[in-house]
Amino acid sequence: MNPKDTFFSTKSTLNVGGNLLSLADPIAMGILNFTPDSFFAGSRTFSEKTILERTEKLLQEGAAMLDIGGYSSRPGATDIPTEEEKNRIVPAIKSILKAFPDAIISVDTFRASVAEAAIGEGAAIINDISGGSLDGAMFATAAKLQVPYILMHMRGTPQTMNKLTHYENLMPELLAYFAEKVHALKQLGVKDIIIDPGFGFAKTVEQNYEVLNQLESLRILGLPVLAGMSRKSMTYKALGIAPEEALNGTTALNMLALTKGAKILRVHDVKEAVQTIKLFLKTTQRD
């Protein structure tokens, strides 16, 4: 189905720090990880010099926003204390915004106190892999801060999610999950919500493809959809390759996600994602 033919109207702007960010056309979100054990080594960044070099590269390649994380959420990742997570990302945010004051930063965390510290230093979006389930204060914090909130689907924790992949009916369960949480967020006053189906989180490789094949069904929620499949196991395991070899497969899946209505591509490789978006827009006869 071509997304422009859908009967469901999707919110097409985000209020980011008092400025409207248009999602009329899809955008790319570049990944910056400050963790020693992220599954894709190419996204790991530590010293201030390398942080700024990678930031500059992502922005030059066309990233509309940067997603900064200090807690590895790969399956089985080691849990770290809250203060360590803050110490990884807060100085990075300061450095990035000093050098690139117009950069839009999303903080990838499930901890409300980390989100608040990051927003206090200039980050503008909360990206919560747990959908509020791992910190009961997160929804209220997002409402208090009045920033866009990325609501992802996951079960359990990064340490346990691979054992929580049984669903009676996957897509209806995802829709019910999102409907309940979106209602709770709106009741608290959160105005800008983005939906992320959580590829790779509490889902088998086959279930990831089931979600991708039915991604357009999430549009019934009337909210922008983020697709985060970059170099994940649904690509490299399906092809029998390493994450470092999974760029081509990622590009193929990103194009499919765009045809099914995704508005944000969360990626390690921004240049290729932006090119994919440009070609997608040619198919919809828009420049």
Token pair for 128: 């919560």
Q: What is the pLDDT of residue 36?
A: 64
Sole residue written with tokens 């099914």: 260
Q: For residue 238, count other CB atoms closer than 10 A to its CB.
A: 16
Assess whether pLDDT exceeds 90 at residue 39.
Answer: no
Domain ranges for the chain: 3-283
Q: Which of 54, 231, 263, 266 is catalytic?
A: 266
Evaluate whether 261 touches 217 at the Cβ level (below 8 Å).
no
Active site residue 163: no
CB under 8 Å to 250, separation ≥6 — which residues?
229, 230, 231, 232, 235, 267, 269, 272
Q: Name the pTM for this structure.
A: 0.92
Per-residue pLDDT averaged across 36-59, rounded? 73
Question: Residue 159 — very low, low, confident or very high, per pLDDT cuts 50/70/90?
Answer: confident
Question: Residue 2 — very low, low, confident or very high, per pLDDT cuts 50/70/90?
Answer: very low
Active site residue 232: yes
CATH of domain 3-283: 3.20.20.20
Q: Say whether 137 sits in a helix, a strand or coil.
A: coil
* Amino acid occupying residue 249: G
Q: Report CA-CA distances (Å) from 169 to 130, 200, 219, 227.
A: 20, 17, 18, 21
Q: Which of 181, 203, 232, 260 is catalytic?
A: 232
